[in-house]
Structure 1
């Protein structure tokens, strides 16, 4: 049955047929108060709101009510936009004129062209068309579709699209599929942007379907399951500007508190029962008392075992053996194992509250006691919720009710919304996080910033919440593989705060995968140990031995980099630069960086490049492996192996990079300035270090970095209560100047009296070191050894045994690097800048992969051919004849250099079907190269594999 709506237009009643309503010719466009009105031949009317000179909203509503989008259910008030999209402030600067084809609205920066006959809309900027409808918007009784001309651009966004970061050539669902595997969707976002220079947010809470596969018809389509069309468009010249425009419309990303960057432990400590069993029984877990126990949920516990069982608690109030099954005991274990931990969630939403009394008040008291204990250890407490945030009957609360406002009073500082908030329509989950943020403001004012984890995001979620990628299986390489591009895509969707489960919530039992997951996630925002559902306990010390030591080393690594991490988190909040950063954001002129060729590597802020181990390439039984296809950008840039100090020349793709089990491939840019801190186990330990500043500097050219700090906990940063310090480095020849500007700003309890320590990478003892603190010259003394250096101020030490991570020293004896270390007296950093002048210290970089000299005497490898049997729809395999005595080979693929290829065959992966690519090969011997062989053209197959990778 067709749906009908009666509207009044020009005093005539017309019936609109929704079954297939393609916009007909435009009859008129007029400027009204607050918007431009667009009239169509079939009686429809649209409104076009100019929000500013680069942003407009188009709303086509056959009902003519022009209301806010429909919420998921009654009583919800979720808001996508923080900016008033009915605001007409941009109207005064906009003009309209009649053209040969229709009408043109000029905002002063963009021109919006409305075609009379085709009823289509296009946008030009600086004389170039950057947005163009291929046909008019279509409205039916179930779907509203916009079809655009593909301007030969790349597309990004869509929210949590597992396994994807680029959307070009993809069909994606803006639907929560609750399918947390490759190509599953957890937190969709009806927002995408194009490298042509525009972004779009559909103002709706209805499911969507976006098709960016334009290969056959040069068109893309976006559709939502509704009868209205409502979208906001914005235009900018760069990716960062487009992401910033998205945040201006939907809200800045919330700044994660300091404790959120330490890993969290999550489990239910108020529900299950434990029974002593023998070590070989299924599910047996060894506990600190040396005995083995099996866990039972209440519904699964056999009646005959109940008298022997021990129930979990938060506080272990029964003492004795039962204490080891408490939340307190687990927190104790982290600290006893010397493991960093920042926050703890002791309940979940599946029948486990936080107390075993007969009143909600009694249970809240139990919660408060656990909070007090955790806080005494320097750790914060959060809660899960699968229920309402307040009792259904506030006057008569039940023991298992939730009252988030009273939980805040008890000391809770974080919330994870769970399954009850995963609702259809997407205003449901967004309403939950926004309501939570309002409750926090009501109870805590600006003393506590919202820290909320959600699995049901939508446009605007980033303003109040971190996005969790969903329940996933650990113990498998696939779990790591598809998460890397997922994290990159989150940042490109305006959601920089991303979290996932360490080694998954389910599965496990693979210590190598466990270690590799802890490694790469030390260079990501938020780490969650979701315990209680896997094949083994989900904590960093579950496997013991080498696995525990390496997990500790990388958790400590993150704590040592926390000043840097917090600074790039502030960048994500204030300047829309994601923490996990797509390569093209820093290197926009490299075409390959927009493609899947770099889906398994990323930049961690400004200065680190991370290439996780995501598969078994040539691993031995101990997990020692190599990493191939690491794209190091910019042939003028030196990249430094963070752990060994080895230097690599950019502008190449390196292969066979040694990655023994202890080692994550991490590179730091020459020129980088990295604020660091001593290793800590809790956020309170870190906050107690505020009297010192430490910077690690890798001199090269001219560079700078802005260090950000605030109280790490409150929402006062939103009122500009923070401190920023710019530090710069300038290397000219062998002369190095380091300047630390005066700190700008303040916040509650900020103490400007700080010591300053510099660690400067060099391999030469300097001739001279001159230091100015303010206008006063400071004399430095040379320390005899490291211990002497650590005892005194105003001293320097040429450290030939410097370790970027001392917790890895036992795994490799060649991690010592050479750094000049300088330590300066306390000074008021707001009143005094610091200048350090060093002469004779710098040295020329010696990259291990420097471009070889040409050697005509070397043999050009023969018979470079495509192996058709091994070529697929997304890969090409080539091979060539071996050259006796050759050190390695280099390939030039589509003009890009691939180096350190040891075999006589190479597979080029992550390609699109039915695409052509060029290959050349040459021999490398003793840092010289043969001439390039003849160029061959290869092609991927047309057939797309059913299982995408």
Structure 2
């Protein structure tokens, strides 16, 4: 949440023009565009004589001509590495030799001299071992021309070509060019020089040159050594350290990713023009109140991953940098493109500090790309199943009685839910790990009452710690020197919810151990095993700080400045909290929601899109934001249902629940000044529609859990963009108001426009589609008109899929654990279908030891047999889990699209399991055909109580 006195007014936050390094590098790009590529002469050169290849890596040196302030210039060495990884990715690193060697005159002693080089330490968990099987294939002629070639990747199908003459690196896949680093020669790196006496510089130098290279900085508000914005002055004791480089995607029409922005899924151009942005996309974690939609402005999180997609190909880049980062995007026409092909995307990446550390992934398709990115930064952690149920939250439930009354009303109105949440008002004076005793006198009894109904409680705990004598958490944090420091090395104090506060420095390993200690069941008084945690305000949010955040010259563990690690801090805090819950209950999967995040946060826990508003435009933008997170590795994401600020109309909140039922993270939330809006308070007929949406969510939980399991090992998101199913349909690339849902084959088009009672659903391929509710048949690529009255969620089922449901109504997900399954089968044009089910105990870590089942279902149109087979090798642990669910059966099978003429007059089908066979009854709902004999509404064959067990191999003969 955010203090309501703040707003998203643009004057609270920087623009590129008011950010010196962004402005300089944009001007640098403008200078390059004013001359021909042959005439562009940047102050950099790559010395071909320094280039060497050894054991999977090209190394060498770039040199920069730097004006030293006395009228002469010197050459600064920038060593580089181009490393080819065993995972198939390539990594390009450029550092600054002077800073790395650490013998700099006049450098502040309280800071680390080298550039920040630890972003990958936090983001990347994959193997960075060079691929020694990569082949150096430069010919003698290549070497004479300063060209260095390496083949790498699967079957050596990838090739990198380094051109010393223009410092360009081209990446080919099967001889086709896909990615180019430094295509336009915009590589730029500020280099170290002792602080000069401005009075000794000539007027010409002051106005036209920057001793760090690049265009002039505006003075005095933006000098190399300090910067002012919004009444705050940011000192730069290390001088400018910005880095920048352009990355081109030749032949690609569209790019996605770089969350978080409240913008379209397909990223727009940022250099103006109708429908485009004038500002670059910004990655800088900030607390932004009621954020603007259709904007490239910074938000709560930062994942510098970008995917480029075209017909037949997907590639991506990961810019591993945790500093303030801006990204320009330009689309070229064939006439403008230097590649002589259809069109291209040119991007320009600019970061305030750190080394240049960029990873290139060549796909070739989206699933391969997501596996490559996941191999680097990790996959979405498999969450406990209760966290995929419905969450009820507001700022704030005021007392134990309030919490338990809300809990009881869910049962009274027969609405399932799993988790109820407490915002900051539960604490004693905003002091975390305490309870407001007049309202929460016996919190453990409250949690025990929830636990009896298999429900959880989430409490918010933020990184700001109230500065108050007698508050042991603060006193011990301060005494042990575990806080973030100001520029002078003293404890940093700022203003947040408790008033004057300090911030825990979770880059410090000792601070993590301290944090883990606070959560122990015996120490966190009033906590119970079913208490879970919500991390908010961890950008960090500082009400009286620049851009509502911490000063950039604050100092973290390791003597790194805030500017170096700003976008990473929220992840380190989230990580510390997850470690704390894991230490408290080692055998249970932790659940911790975060607002701020970085690349790699997906392996820790869930995220939501922050403080939205109860307006239609926020419902509309939620899906593009969720899609952007998903393709950037963060699949466990949601948006506050109903809108955090304001009071939604009955229609809006109804439509939002319908959309939210498909968000991976499904939570209703509201501001303290909003009216109470628990589902039963909305009023009929709206309450009934909302309840049906929540029930649909629980019905689909087995399929959602199965999809989350897939995300946990190959990165395919639950909410899937159109191009994942139809990668060659260019008309579908930018569609972001509908999606495919998990492994179900369901194509969902939530209604997000006020008053709409009909819509158009786009079919991206020529497969058969069925209306999920009534079986109406659709086919043919293009838009199909459907009615969408307020009680309806438009959904089509794509032929060829089988997915599991649980149709019994329960109060929570845990109570469903031994319920029978319904298998839903939608046949494709050939009469075939397939699907999977993943199942474990839903909460513990036992699945990591093999305690689960993973089933594969396939329906063959050729022989009319539905089969269930195991996808795992048999082990003692899997047998243990199978025994724990040995009575769980399939209670119903629904087959849509079957040629019922093949069943003739049958009233039963044959089932086979464990060398036994028996007949099981069926109901046949025949197809409806039009006067031309075309199927208008598909047949449905229902197998009632087939008698097969979910955990075993079985077959059913139709």
Regarding TM over 0.5, the answer is yes
User: Is the partner of 1:516 in helix, strand or coil?
Assistant: helix
Question: Match of 2:245?
Answer: 146
- CA drift of 1:705 comes to 0.5
- CA drift of 1:590 comes to 0.3
Deviations 1:121-179 (A, max 9, x none): 11222222222231442113353221133412131210222232112535422223544
2:764 is aligned with 1:633: yes
2:855 is aligned with 1:717: no
Contact 1:181 1:472 in 2 (8 A): no
User: Is the partner of 1:27 in helix, strand or coil?
Assistant: helix
- CA drift of 1:495 comes to 1.1
Contact 1:704 1:727 in 2 (8 A): yes
CA distance in 2, matches of 1:378, 1:800: 42
Contact 2:124 2:376 in 1 (8 A): yes
Question: Match of 1:879?
Answer: none
Contact 1:70 1:205 in 2 (8 A): no
Residues 513 and 532 (structure 1), Cα distance of their counterparts in 2 relative to 1, 3 Å cut:
same
Deviations 1:735-777 (A, max 9, x none): 6321112474526573233322312236857534442423645
> Which deviates more, 546-555 or 639-648?
639-648
2:737 is aligned with 1:600: yes
Of 612, 615, 621 in structure 2, the residue corresponding to residue 482 of structure 1 is: 621
Of 814, 824, 846 in structure 1, the residue corresponding to residue 946 of structure 2 is: 824
- CA drift of 1:73 comes to 11
2:299 is aligned with 1:161: no
2:600 is aligned with 1:468: no
Contact 1:72 1:426 in 2 (8 A): no
Of 702, 713, 726 in structure 2, the residue corresponding to residue 587 of structure 1 is: 726
Residues 634 and 32 (structure 1), Cα distance of their counterparts in 2 relative to 1, 3 Å cut:
closer
Deviations 1:861-882 (A, max 9, x none): xxxxxxxxxxxxxxxxxxxxxx
Question: Match of 1:419?
Answer: 537
Of 111, 119, 122 in structure 2, the residue corresponding to residue 79 of structure 1 is: 122
Contact 2:52 2:58 in 1 (8 A): yes
Contact 1:163 1:484 in 2 (8 A): no
Question: Match of 2:9?
Answer: none
Of 780, 785, 789 in structure 2, the residue corresponding to residue 660 of structure 1 is: 789
CA distance in 2, matches of 1:511, 1:190: 38
CA distance in 1, matches of 2:137, 2:699: 57
Question: Match of 2:649?
Answer: 510
Residues 419 and 482 (structure 1), Cα distance of their counterparts in 2 relative to 1, 3 Å cut:
same
- CA drift of 1:27 comes to 3.4
- CA drift of 1:712 comes to 0.8
Residues 770 and 615 (structure 1), Cα distance of their counterparts in 2 relative to 1, 3 Å cut:
closer
CA distance in 2, matches of 1:76, 1:120: 24
Contact 2:639 2:660 in 1 (8 A): no
- CA drift of 1:551 comes to 0.3
Question: Match of 1:380?
Answer: 456
> Which deviates more, 547-556 or 153-162?
153-162
Deviations 1:371-401 (A, max 9, x none): 211111121122211246992345999xx99
Of 296, 299, 323 in structure 2, the residue corresponding to residue 206 of structure 1 is: 323
User: Is the partner of 1:668 in helix, strand or coil?
Assistant: strand
Deviations 1:21-49 (A, max 9, x none): 64445432113578432123443211223
Question: Match of 2:953?
Answer: 833
CA distance in 2, matches of 1:820, 1:336: 33
CA distance in 1, matches of 2:733, 2:45: 35
CA distance in 2, matches of 1:571, 1:525: 13
Flag structure 1 segments of 5+ consecutive residues without an equivalent.
4-19, 271-311, 317-325, 781-793, 802-813, 839-949
Of 31, 56, 70 in structure 1, the residue corresponding to residue 90 of structure 2 is: 56
2:78 is aligned with 1:44: yes
Question: Match of 2:175?
Answer: 127
The structure with the largest strand share of the pair is 1
- CA drift of 1:519 comes to 0.8
CA distance in 2, matches of 1:696, 1:372: 37
CA distance in 2, matches of 1:74, 1:344: 41
Question: Match of 2:381?
Answer: 254
- CA drift of 1:441 comes to 2.5
Residues 72 and 515 (structure 1), Cα distance of their counterparts in 2 relative to 1, 3 Å cut:
farther
Contact 2:269 2:331 in 1 (8 A): yes
Residues 766 and 329 (structure 1), Cα distance of their counterparts in 2 relative to 1, 3 Å cut:
farther
CA distance in 2, matches of 1:479, 1:531: 14
CA distance in 1, matches of 2:419, 2:308: 38
- CA drift of 1:681 comes to 4.0
Residues 93 and 649 (structure 1), Cα distance of their counterparts in 2 relative to 1, 3 Å cut:
closer
Deviations 1:414-450 (A, max 9, x none): 32211144356112100011112222232222x2213
Contact 1:173 1:209 in 2 (8 A): yes
Question: Match of 2:574?
Answer: 433
Aligned residues: 724
Residues 112 and 699 (structure 1), Cα distance of their counterparts in 2 relative to 1, 3 Å cut:
closer
Of 682, 686, 701 in structure 2, the residue corresponding to residue 547 of structure 1 is: 686
Question: Match of 2:446?
Answer: 370
- CA drift of 1:360 comes to 10
Residues 412 and 241 (structure 1), Cα distance of their counterparts in 2 relative to 1, 3 Å cut:
same
Of 662, 671, 675 in structure 2, the residue corresponding to residue 523 of structure 1 is: 662
User: Is the partner of 1:161 in helix, strand or coil?
Assistant: coil
CA distance in 2, matches of 1:33, 1:755: 55
2:169 is aligned with 1:117: no
CA distance in 2, matches of 1:365, 1:405: 20
CA distance in 1, matches of 2:150, 2:89: 12
- CA drift of 1:660 comes to 0.9
CA distance in 2, matches of 1:74, 1:411: 39
Contact 1:356 1:363 in 2 (8 A): no
After TM superposition, list the pairs within 5 Å mapping 1:218-617 onto structure 2.
218=337, 219-226=346-353, 228-268=355-395, 312-314=398-400, 316=401, 326-348=402-424, 366-387=442-463, 391-394=473-476, 403-406=518-521, 407=524, 410-422=528-540, 425-445=566-586, 447-474=587-614, 476-533=615-672, 535-595=674-734, 598-606=735-743, 607-616=745-754
Residues 358 and 487 (structure 1), Cα distance of their counterparts in 2 relative to 1, 3 Å cut:
closer
Residues 421 and 40 (structure 1), Cα distance of their counterparts in 2 relative to 1, 3 Å cut:
closer
- CA drift of 1:92 comes to 5.1
User: Is the partner of 2:51 in helix, strand or coil?
Assistant: strand
CA distance in 1, matches of 2:464, 2:803: 43
Question: Match of 2:493?
Answer: none
2:775 is aligned with 1:645: yes
- CA drift of 1:350 comes to 8.7
CA distance in 1, matches of 2:692, 2:303: 36
Contact 2:47 2:62 in 1 (8 A): yes
The structure with the largest helix share of the pair is 2
Contact 2:302 2:597 in 1 (8 A): yes
CA distance in 1, matches of 2:915, 2:84: 56
Question: Match of 2:226?
Answer: none
User: Is the partner of 1:39 in helix, strand or coil?
Assistant: strand
CA distance in 1, matches of 2:763, 2:447: 46
Of 890, 893, 899 in structure 2, the residue corresponding to residue 756 of structure 1 is: 890
Residues 676 and 709 (structure 1), Cα distance of their counterparts in 2 relative to 1, 3 Å cut:
same
Q: Relative contact order, CA 8 A, sep 6+: which one is greater?
A: 2
Contact 2:262 2:621 in 1 (8 A): yes
Question: Match of 1:91?
Answer: 132
